[in-house]
Chain A
Amino acid sequence: MKHTDILIIDDEKKFAAMLAKRIGLRGCHSEVCNDGRTGLKWIKEYSDSVTLILLDLKLPDIYGTKVLTGIKEINPAIPVIILTGHGTEKDRQQCEQLGAYMFIHKPLEIDRLMIILEQIRETSK
């Protein structure tokens, strides 16, 4: 399995697809899951070969915070960035408690994402 730089868990298919393409253009590899269960399943399988996870809060099956808890149970070392369109202050606090790496509101600037990815790679070396 090829190393995955970024795993995108977001139910907005077009958004996720576009983001994945743009990441691809920048020479990185990304995977997309459109709901929480698929996401968790994927992580269970490939938890060793992912650098960063982008997680939406509002998912069709499981709420993002629960997915985050699941991810942390599988592998607490993977940095998870919460990417949401409408997160409240309460969400932010909860996610930070659960060990989220960052809490970012949509729209997302791709350049910023690339910088963050670079930083994570640097620190994990």
Chain B
Amino acid sequence: MRKKFISSLKIFWPEFHKRKGNIHLEPFYTFTDYQHLWTMSIFVLALTALIPLCIVTLIHYQLIQKSVDSELRLRTERLTSNAKRSVAFFMEERLNALIFTVDEMGYDHLIDNKKLVEILKNLKHGFGGLSDLSVIDMGGNQIAYAGPFNLQGKNYKDQPWFAQGLKNKYFISEVFTGYRELPHIIIAVRSVKKDGSIFILRATLDTERLMQTLTSYKTGEYIDIFLVNNNGVLQTPSVHYGDIFTRTDLKTFNYSTRTEVSMSTCQGVPVILGHSFISTDTVVTPFILVVSKKKQDMMYAWLELRQKINWTVGISVILIVLVITFASTFMVNKLYQIDNAKAQTMLQMEQNQQLASIGQLAAGVAHEINNPLAVINQTAGYVKDLFSFKDEVRDDDEIIENIDSILEAVDRCGTITRQLLGFVRQFDIKIKKVRLKKIVADVLSFHKKESEYRGIHVTVDIPDTIPDMETDSGKLQQILVNLVNNAFQAVTEDGCLDIIGSQIDTETIELVIQDTGCGISEDSLAKIHEPFFSTKQDQMGTGLGLSITYGLVKKLGGNISVHSTEGVGTSFTITLPIKIQERELA
């Protein structure tokens, strides 16, 4: 399960991280820094995808914020305006009732206590909210009184409302406690007696009724509706600002008949404030109706929506990044694979090129060597002839023997140059029926003298049951020459060289060439098939032998593997098809 998970992560992790640097391939790569390519691809793609997303999200936020704000304003304005109209109507209604009473009844009627009680009863019945009624003369003396409090004979001369009442025809006071120690509002109507002196009909409004009216507009728990006076003192209790008569920090409002909405803060919390001055057609009241909404509470729905948007955006960002990483990894991987294949092909081409030019060089060398060899041959032959045909030295066997060995050496050189030429002409394809045993014997014959001289034990074990092969005998011979040469160079005196052939199946044979030589170190083992790798630099090795052999075996459609232990020996195992396919030689 865990493994499965980790392997599924690989689609996001590029292959080139585990690249083993092959120094020969490096120059052929089109891109050198895949890490950079990968990160840049992810970075650029992610930026192109994410920046518009972020911008759109921000714009969306702002739009919603704006519409929420204007919606809030509108609703507050409507509420304030409605509540104001109610309160104004409440006041106007009662004031008008008093005006009507004064105009209808006249002074004489009003100072009759019994009648005043009757009038209060009727007013209470008709409008409610009125707690008492009194008639006050110019001197502030209460002439008549109807109501629950015993206020008979009180003088109001020093009360602030009295002065106002005298000055204005109609008057509505702020909320105050007065003699009765209860918050109330005074409504006063000034009138003139028949004798021309002034009197005032005063009614007291209890705030209870007014507060009920206000409360009826509280549509939600976040809304606070209250009245303040011009000095910012609360005239009704407020949820946010405190109890009645608390001085608030509400800024003084400029008088306007219109309802206005503004943004403010209440104890550091942003609020939306709607306010409206309460006035009737006949009188201006000291009241300002205020609607206060805590913005945070009203924004709850919007905040919830924003959280949803945030989640959606967050998940989208993760998805985009994942998809981009996957796509980048896929593309860069493909690019890397293609580049790798290209580099390998180019390296191979370069190696082929090198081999071809070495081949041409070898051909030239072979050509040039052959002529002097022929001269040596003929000269040595002539010297031999001189001895053979002139009687006096004919029997000097030693000289003849030495000359014979020169001639033999020339023969061997000739053979080698012929082989070299044959090898250079790799493209001359000659498929012939060949007997493996015979080819091995031919190759070993070149080393017959050497093995005798150095005491190397050569064993050949190739059963006669192995069928004749149909292959390029020149190439096969060359493979064997190279491997046997190597073995001879590796073994010391009394060493062994075994050549063992066997048939694996109807189509394949196997040939093992093993020696008890010096072996190949592990480091070198990895490189022996690379052209120009040689450990025999001091012995003029070209580093081409095994590389060529490897190529030849591949051309014959076979495989070659090598096992070696330093100091113990080396064994090369070649498998070859018995019948070569034409196309494999092409």
| Complex interface residues of chain B between 420 and 462 (CB less than 8 A to chain A) | 421, 425, 428
Cβ contacts under 8 Å, A85 to chain B: 367, 370-371, 373-374
Q: Provide the bound-state CA to CA distance between A104 and B411, in Å.
A: 14
Query: Is the beta-carbon distance between B381 and A22 smaller than 8 angstroms?
Result: yes
Given known pairs A86-B367, A107-B410, the reply for A12 and B381 (CB within 8 Å) is no
Cβ contacts under 8 Å, B411 to chain A: 107
A14 within 8 A of B: yes
Query: Is the beta-carbon distance between A12 and B389 smaller than 8 angstroms?
Result: no
| Complex interface residues of chain A between 81 and 113 (CB less than 8 A to chain B) | 85-86, 88-89, 105-108, 110
Query: Is the beta-carbon distance between B378 and A18 smaller than 8 angstroms?
Result: yes
Given known pairs A22-B382, A25-B389, A85-B370, the reply for A14 and B418 (CB within 8 Å) is no
A37 within 8 A of B: no
Query: Is the beta-carbon distance between B425 and A15 smaller than 8 angstroms?
Result: no
A29 within 8 A of B: no
B377 within 8 A of A: yes
Given known pairs A22-B382, A86-B366, A89-B428, the reply for A15 and B371 (CB within 8 Å) is yes
B322 within 8 A of A: no
Main secondary structure of the interface of B (DSSP, over half): helix
Query: Is the beta-carbon distance between B371 and A105 smaller than 8 angstroms?
Result: no
A97 CB, nearest partner CB in chain B, Å: 18
A72 within 8 A of B: no
Cβ contacts under 8 Å, B425 to chain A: 88-89
Query: Is the beta-carbon distance between B379 and A106 smaller than 8 angstroms?
Result: no
Bitwise interface map of B from 403 to 419 toward A, beta carbon under 8 Å scored 1, else 0: 00000001100100010
Q: Which of A15, A22, A107 has the most CB of B within 10 A?
A: A107
Q: Provide the bound-state CA to CA distance between A11 and B363, in Å.
A: 20
B110 CB, nearest partner CB in chain A, Å: 150
A19 within 8 A of B: yes
Given known pairs A18-B378, A22-B382, the reply for A106 and B389 (CB within 8 Å) is no
Closest A residue to B366 by beta carbon equals A86
Q: Provide the bound-state CA to CA distance between A105 and B385, in Å.
A: 22
Query: Is the beta-carbon distance between B374 and A107 smaller than 8 angstroms?
Result: yes
| Complex interface residues of chain B between 368 and 390 (CB less than 8 A to chain A) | 370-371, 373-375, 377-379, 381-382, 385-386, 389
Q: How many residues of A contact B (CB 8 A)?
A: 18
Query: Is the beta-carbon distance between B370 and A15 smaller than 8 angstroms?
Result: no
Cβ contacts under 8 Å, B363 to chain A: 86
Q: Which of A14, A18, A108, A110 has the most CB of B within 10 A?
A: A18
Bitwise interface map of A from 4 to 18 toward B, beta carbon under 8 Å scored 1, else 0: 000000001011001
Cβ contacts under 8 Å, B366 to chain A: 86
B226 CB, nearest partner CB in chain A, Å: 118
Q: Provide the bound-state CA to CA distance between A107 and B413, in Å.
A: 10
Q: Could you list 17 further interchain pairs (A-B, Cβ under 8 angstroms) beyond the known A25-B386, A25-B389?
A: A12-B374, A15-B371, A18-B375, A21-B382, A22-B385, A26-B385, A85-B367, A85-B374, A86-B366, A105-B414, A105-B418, A106-B371, A106-B373, A106-B374, A106-B377, A107-B374, A108-B374
Query: Is the beta-carbon distance between B381 and A18 smaller than 8 angstroms?
Result: yes
Q: Provide the bound-state CA to CA distance between A86 and B424, in Å.
A: 12
Query: Is the beta-carbon distance between A107 and B373 smaller than 8 angstroms?
Result: yes
Q: Provide the bound-state CA to CA distance between A15 and B375, in Å.
A: 5
Query: Is the beta-carbon distance between A107 and B414 smaller than 8 angstroms?
Result: yes
Cβ contacts under 8 Å, A105 to chain B: 370, 414, 418
Closest A residue to B413 by beta carbon equals A107
A28 CB, nearest partner CB in chain B, Å: 13
27 contacts between A and B (CB under 8 A): A12-B375, A14-B378, A14-B379, A15-B374, A18-B378, A21-B385, A22-B381, A22-B382, A22-B385, A25-B382, A26-B385, A85-B374, A86-B367, A88-B425, A89-B428, A105-B370, A105-B414, A105-B418, A106-B371, A106-B377, A107-B370, A107-B374, A107-B377, A108-B377, A110-B378, A110-B381, A110-B385
Closest B residue to A10 by beta carbon equals B374
B133 CB, nearest partner CB in chain A, Å: 144
Closest A residue to B390 by beta carbon equals A25
Cβ contacts under 8 Å, A18 to chain B: 375, 378-379, 381-382
Cβ contacts under 8 Å, A86 to chain B: 363, 366-367, 370, 421
Query: Is the beta-carbon distance between B370 and A19 smaller than 8 angstroms?
Result: no
Q: Provide the bound-state CA to CA distance between A14 and B386, in Å.
A: 17
Closest A residue to B430 by beta carbon equals A89
Closest B residue to A13 by beta carbon equals B375
Q: Provide the bound-state CA to CA distance between A18 and B374, in Å.
A: 10
Query: Is the beta-carbon distance between B371 and A12 smaller than 8 angstroms?
Result: yes
Cβ contacts under 8 Å, A14 to chain B: 375, 378-379
B482 CB, nearest partner CB in chain A, Å: 22
Cβ contacts under 8 Å, B428 to chain A: 89
